[in-house]
Amino acid sequence: MTTGVWVLGDQLWTEQAALSSYFPEKKNTPVILIESLKYAQQRPYHRQKLVLIWSAMRHFAEELRQNNWSVTYEIANDFEAPLQAWVKKHKITELRVMNPNDRPFTQIVNNLKLNCQITLVANNHFLWSSSDFQKWAASQKSLIMENFYRSGRKRFQILMEGNQPVGGKWNFDKQNRQPPKGKLNTPEALWFEPDQTTLEVINTVNSLDFPSYGDAEPFRWAVTRSQALQALDFFLKHRLPMFGPYQDAMVTGEETMWHSMLSPYLNIGLLNPMEVIMAAQRAYHQNKLDLNSVEGFIRQVLGWREYLHGVYHYMEADYPESNWFNHTRSLPAFYWNAQKTDMNCLRQVLEQVQRTGYAHHIQRLMVLSNFALISGISPQAIEDWFHGAFIDAHDWVMQTNVIGMGQFADGGILASKPYVASANYINKMSDYCGKCVYQYQERTGEKACPFNLLYWNFLARHREQLKSQGRLNLMLHHLDRISIEEATKINQDAANWLNKIDAAT
């Protein structure tokens, strides 16, 4: 009887469930990691995403070897052929795989035709198991993230004093929405120079003969657990103290602000969520940091990250096809090439994504996703782009983030309102509008910001559906105050602008 372990590319953690099963001798336990070229062709992935995953996998394989595991590393067209050869060579009778984070990959594993038993081991990559989340959901009238977050704080005793939250409040979000006024002394980012292994992967990615996206270089992300721990320590010392107040701000030339940049490492297992949460809590107590910054960061990991993963597995299999507004417009070409738009906010964010595979949550939600929603772009089209474009993207991340939160395509299962805004919000929270060819104050005319045209047009198009969403009643009241003449002009200008996009798509 020989048991082997298949380590997936987003499960690069020595304590992951399949590896941490009981084995008498590591050196007698075959382990395999596989780079699949066919899998990488599912969509035009960002080149830095491919570099991150493949380099991290190669480094993790070497880490396992140093810890006396018997490791096979394969680069192949698909997964099944190297698995078949490996199973035969090592006379494997049972293949253990930690339950994949993504549903499509679970299907891949279940469809394998191997001459051995395949055992899916319960996933320990998240704090809440799928069954735990289902029990919580069954006790709720609706899936409100804030309620889930509070349950997590109590369950794991994070920032708690007995049964009460530290500071007497659960949420300090109102203190974390300051606009970027005046001089902001942002800290430098911690980046890493590629080693020989990463340079080899960069060369491989640059030579691929199938479509991919973005720039492979300069590649500066961590690819080992040691580097990821350095990134965590750097964030705690240099960024967490001021993380809160300006976490929604957007500034030209500021790619990272005070953000942690830890999501790529959390999502592939180089860091685990509880160690990140506990480290932030220790920093709060030891360094007397502002509670709004620490609570805001912990809410992202203990709250949103766990919640989105839980909702992903809780929803039915057809959730990705949700389209509450029945939006069908194709994705504009400028999402793939930032030079094709003259809207400064979109160009700034999209150029950054092309360079780095990264943008922070407000750039994603209130610029890229907001524009897609008010433009009537298919939620499946924009979700597919997000999944390909971002370095921290995975199926469980993007379905809930984009389909549910960003596009409100599920009709309010996940979000309490559509996240839509006019140019006024972008002007308030960024410096983008001051250098744009369009005027953020104008709602009609040649220089009117498209965000204004499309925002008011969106409200008018979907008035009846939006009336059921109480949180937008104030904006619908403002819509009613626009004269018939101006409303007609707004809708005409919006239609002309969308026709221009369609023609260039």
Q: How far is CA 392 from CA 46, 231, 247, 360, 398, in A?
A: 10, 15, 18, 11, 9
Q: Mean pLDDT, the chain, as a whole number?
A: 95
pLDDT recorded at residue 22? 64
> Sorting pLDDT into bands at 50, 70 and 90, what band is 24?
low
Residue 137 has pLDDT above 90, yes or no: yes
pLDDT recorded at residue 311? 97
Other residues' Cβ atoms within 10 Å of the Cβ of residue 291: 18
Buried b (16+ CB within 10 A) or exposed e, 53-91: bbbbbbbbbebbeeeebbbbbeebeebbebbeebbeebe
Residue 448 has pLDDT above 90, yes or no: yes
pLDDT recorded at residue 160? 97
The Cα–Cα gap between 241 and 283 comes to: 9
The Cα–Cα gap between 109 and 98 comes to: 10
What's the whole-number mean pLDDT along residues 10-31? 86
Lowest mean pLDDT among 3-7, 116-120, 182-186, 433-437: 182-186
Q: What is the DSSP string of 219-267?
A: -----SHHHHHHHHHHHHHHTGGGTTTTTT-B-TT-SSTT----HHHHH
Amino acid at 234: F
Q: How far is CA 56 from CA 2, 270, 448, 459, 460, in A?
A: 27, 9, 46, 45, 48
Residue 313 has pLDDT above 80, yes or no: yes
The Cα–Cα gap between 213 and 40 comes to: 12
The Cα–Cα gap between 170 and 444 comes to: 42
Sign of CA pseudo-dihedral 264, 267, 270, 275 = positive
Q: With a threshold of 0.75, does the pTM exceed it?
A: yes
The answer to whether 259 and 356 have CB atoms below 8 angstroms apart is no
The answer to whether 17 and 98 have CB atoms below 8 angstroms apart is yes
pLDDT recorded at residue 269? 98
The answer to whether 456 and 479 have CB atoms below 8 angstroms apart is yes
The pLDDT tens digits for 296-305 are: 999 999 999 9
Residue ranges matching CATH 1.25.40.80 in the chain: 130-187+239-314
Residue carrying the six token digits 């965000």: 451
Fold observed for domain 321-504: DNA Cyclobutane Dipyrimidine Photolyase, subunit A; domain 3 (1.10.579)
Our CA angle for 418, 311, 152, nearest 5°, is 105
Our CA angle for 382, 384, 387, nearest 5°, is 110
> Sorting pLDDT into bands at 50, 70 and 90, what band is 501?
confident
pLDDT recorded at residue 232? 98
The pLDDT tens digits for 460-500 are: 999 999 988 778 888 999 999 999 999 999 999 999 999 98
pLDDT recorded at residue 500? 86
Please write down the HEC assignment for all residues of 258-324: CCCCCHHHHHHCCCCHHHHHHHHHHHHHHHCCCHHHHHHHHHHHHHHHHHHHHHHHHCCCCHHHCCC
Fold observed for domain 3-121: Rossmann fold (3.40.50)
pLDDT recorded at residue 119? 96
Closest CA to 395 of 5, 52, 6, 10: 10
The pLDDT tens digits for 237-295 are: 999 999 999 999 999 999 999 999 999 999 999 999 999 999 999 999 999 999 999 99
Fold observed for domain 130-187+239-314: 1.25.40
Which of the two residues, 469 and 402, has the higher pLDDT score? 402
Residue 1 has pLDDT above 90, yes or no: no
On the CB side of 26, CA atoms within 13 Å amount to 13
DSSP-assigned letter for residue 437: S
Residue 25 has pLDDT above 90, yes or no: no
The Cα–Cα gap between 107 and 109 comes to: 5
